[in-house]
Structure 1
Amino acid sequence: MSFFQTYHHSKIQSLSLLLLRLVVGCAFFIHGSGKIHTPFSWMPPQVPIPAFLQFLAAMSEYCGGIALILGIITPLASFGIGCTMLSAVYMHVMMRHDTFVNLSGGMSYEPALGYLVIMILFIAMGPGKFSLDKVIFGERK
């Protein structure tokens, strides 16, 4: 299962990845918690997103958040959340015509794009030494 093996990182790098995983994982767990109770219909009815895709988004945020916190199956969790964030960026840009940053405090795609970049970071760098992935799958040589 080399896909889940972690890369060799220094302690400070691993602590930084742990801190980022905990903060982002908690954020997604909280976002997903609000959606998991109605996973097929958490979006307003006028949004043209099929129920199955709403379910995938709710599951990726809720379960992916837990996985990031624990540092387990981190690349897979990051991929799922990343796909959800890519879809969110698409919706903001193509459907809502939102700007990158809305200076008046309205909707923007800045948070979704930021989270997408963080998921790419986790896929590229792994979860770090302080993760269940390291304990279960080991470290890449």
Structure 2
Amino acid sequence: MFKRFLRVTDVPFSASVGLLALRVVIGVAFMFHGWGKIQHPFGWMPAGAPVPGFLQALAALSEFGGGLAWIVGLLTPLASLGIAATMAVAVAMHVSQGDPFVSMGGHSYEAAAVYLGISLALLLVGPGRLSADAAIFGTKR
């Protein structure tokens, strides 16, 4: 069942190239985004933050590890699910603080919402043929 979940939907080659470009660019962004967090995974948020240390560690792992997984296209659905959960929490935290969607220099939830959308797209569409998932688990129609 798990292997079936990781099989890649067979998409046209041009779509696979587009998905590869998206995965690499966003994966690198997430690795940079998560780098500082992975250095102190249980305490990267300010003291008194409402998020327990183990959830901070999961967020750090999903950002840094998920970014790496996206780059190579390995375990893409799991990486996408972790990043989607992390970005959904980030959006909710920004919204609860009254941050706007877009801001000219202040806090906003624009980036978190864009990352959430991309993670959902990769979760639903998959990494494409040019991925480790396709090489290891095969494709499905």
Q: Counterparts in 2 of 1:85-104, with a 5 A limit?
A: 85-94=87-96, 96-103=97-104
Instruction: Among all aligned residue pairs of Structure 1 and Structure 2, give the percentage whose two residues are the same amino acid.
Output: 50
Deviations 1:29-80 (Å, cap 9, x if unpaired)? 1111111110000011132111111001000001101100010000000000
Gaps spanning 5+ residues in structure 2: where? Answer: none
Distance 1:118 1:2 in 2: 22
Distance 1:66 1:84 in 2: 16
Match in the other structure for 2:110: 110
* Structure 1 residue matching 2:112: 3-state secondary structure: helix
Match in the other structure for 2:83: 81
Deviation at 1:97, TM superposition (A): 1.0
- 1:62 matched to 2:64? The reply is yes
Match in the other structure for 1:40: 42
Gaps spanning 5+ residues in structure 1: where? Answer: none
The one-letter code sitting in structure 2 at the alignment partner of 1:61 is E
The one-letter code sitting in structure 2 at the alignment partner of 1:131 is S
Superposition TM-score, scaled by structure 1 size: 0.96
The one-letter code sitting in structure 2 at the alignment partner of 1:60 is S
Match in the other structure for 1:138: 138
Distance 2:110 2:39 in 1: 27
Superposition TM-score, scaled by structure 2 size: 0.96
Deviation at 1:12, TM superposition (A): 1.1
CA-based RMSD: 0.8
The one-letter code sitting in structure 1 at the alignment partner of 2:101 is F
**How many residues matched?**
139
Deviation at 1:8, TM superposition (A): 1.0
* Structure 1 residue matching 2:8: 3-state secondary structure: coil
The one-letter code sitting in structure 1 at the alignment partner of 2:25 is V
Q: Give every structure 1 segment of 4 or more consecutive aligned residues whose post-TM-superposition deviation is greater than 2 Å.
A: none
